[in-house]
Amino acid sequence: MLLTPYRVLDLTDQRGMLAGQILADLGADVICVEPPDGSSARSVGPFAGDNPSPDRSLYWWAYARNKRGITCNLDHSDGQALVRQLAATADFVLESDTPGVMNARGLGYADLSAQHEDLIYTSISAFGQTGPKASYEATDLILMAAGGPLILAGGAGQAPVRVSVPQAWFHASGEAASAAMIALYARRSIGRGQHVDISAQQSVAAASMSANLAASIGAAETARVAGGMAVGPFTGKLIWEAADGYISLTFLFGSGIGPFSRRLFEWMYDEGECTQEDRDLDWIGLGAEFISGQRPLSEWDRLLSVVGDFIIKRSRGELFREAQARSLLIVPVTTVDEVADSEQFKARNFWREHEMPAWPEPVRFPGPFVQLSANQLEYRRRAPDLGEHNAEVYAELGLDAADLAQLQERGVI
């Protein structure tokens, strides 16, 4: 395992858990620290069996994997002392509190690195550690709005809509893991660790791809088109309804896409579902004909309808097979069940089964996020129960069962 010699002290909640999971998958000893009453991530659904209990959160099951779990009250002076001792044994610390909170506890970067200059301390926050919004709290929706991607989501002429599965903190956590690894590499040359400052707003700004460059070059702002695209005066569809679900079909004109559209209409003509005139359109120069007025834009809407009427009569499987045979830009939109039963995933041994104490049968989980030819990644541990590794981890600090009983009685663990 790549990171087997390294230890990570993971103080994050649901806003940063993915960062620790990535490092854990790479082999690091990740110690996940929860409050005595459990991480707030345990309250994030969905829940196994639709039973909203802390030990049945699928979010927790997914992002606490490969970690050892302990409890510690970071607002208690004795708990802070324990964290300082644990941090002294770690290479990385991950935290996702509001900027200033960890400093107030005496657990900030300056505090923990004072006697441990090799420490790589990674902070994940909504807007970063500095700037006028540093202390702002933010939900996923706020971050997607502040970073830019939200303006791209939704239907034309309607209000933007949020992505149903929260994304912002995942972007930030992924960048946090990558940045921590960069800091580890840099430690070899600069001789010490450093503070890694991750802003979720900045992370999701990159997710808008090239759209956020429009203002800087004086270009028109990208328009949102639900399930489609907008190119100048043309609105196109990318997601089409088939007989048994949906497909992604890229249908347009021009030198890049026109040849594919031509082949699509050749198939439609062979099936008797378009005219010879439509088949023989100049699919390369058609856009110029619309723009010049040689051909009315209403003709484009008619062509979209012709394609839609053809697609909806056919199954996704038939469309995909013909796309492969005719070199068309068509792929099925798969359901969650179809992903779970994917032959491709089975062939790559992607899924892993693990016993979960709160569930009566083995649970199938996604496996390692990457395959390396020389370093095998393994799903070594299921998500820990609350305080499951207290005795094991605190024993490394010289504490025995009597010590732990006293700490628990005082609300420290």
Q: Domain 7-208+342-409 classified CATH 3.30.200.20?
A: no
Q: What is the pLDDT of residues 67-116, one digit of tens each?
A: 999 999 999 999 999 999 999 999 999 999 999 999 999 999 999 999 89
Average pLDDT value over all residues in the chain: 93
Check if 7-208+342-409 and 228-333 are the same fold.
no
Q: Give the model's pLDDT for residue 231.
A: 66
Percent of the chain with pLDDT over 90: 80
DSSP 382: P
Torsion angle, alpha carbons of 370, 373, 376, 377, to 10: -10
Q: What is the pLDDT of residues 193-229, one digit of tens each?
A: 999 999 999 999 988 877 777 778 877 777 777 777 7
Q: What is the pLDDT of residues 161-179, one digit of tens each?
A: 888 888 999 999 999 999 9
Q: What mean pLDDT comes out for the span 30-50?
A: 96
Q: Give the model's pLDDT for residue 311.
A: 98
pLDDT-derived band of residue 235, with 50, 70 and 90 as boundaries? Answer: confident
Q: Is it the case that residue 157 has pLDDT exceeding 90? A: no
Q: Give the model's pLDDT for residue 228.
A: 73
Give the span between the Cα atoms of 149 and 145, in whole angstroms.
7
Residue corresponding to tokens 């021009």: 254
| Strands lying side by side in the sheet with 120-125 | 67-71, 29-34, 7-10, 92-95, 120-125, 195-199
pLDDT-derived band of residue 28, with 50, 70 and 90 as boundaries? Answer: very high
Q: Is it the case that residue 187 has pLDDT exceeding 80? A: yes
Question: pTM of the predicted model, to two decimals?
Answer: 0.90
How many CA atoms, within 13 angstroms, populate the side-chain half-sphere of residue 218?
A: 0
- The second-level CATH assignment, the architecture, of 228-333 is 2-Layer Sandwich (3.30)
Strands 67-71 and 29-34: parallel
Q: Give the model's pLDDT for residue 232.
A: 67
Strands 330-333 and 67-71: unpaired
Print burial letters for 174-203: b (CB count within 10 Å at least 16), e (below 16). bbbbebbbebbeebeeeeebbbbbbbbbbb
Domain boundaries, the chain: 7-208+342-409, 228-333
pLDDT-derived band of residue 279, with 50, 70 and 90 as boundaries? Answer: very high
Residue corresponding to tokens 């806003």: 15
Q: What mean pLDDT comes out for the span 138-153?
A: 92
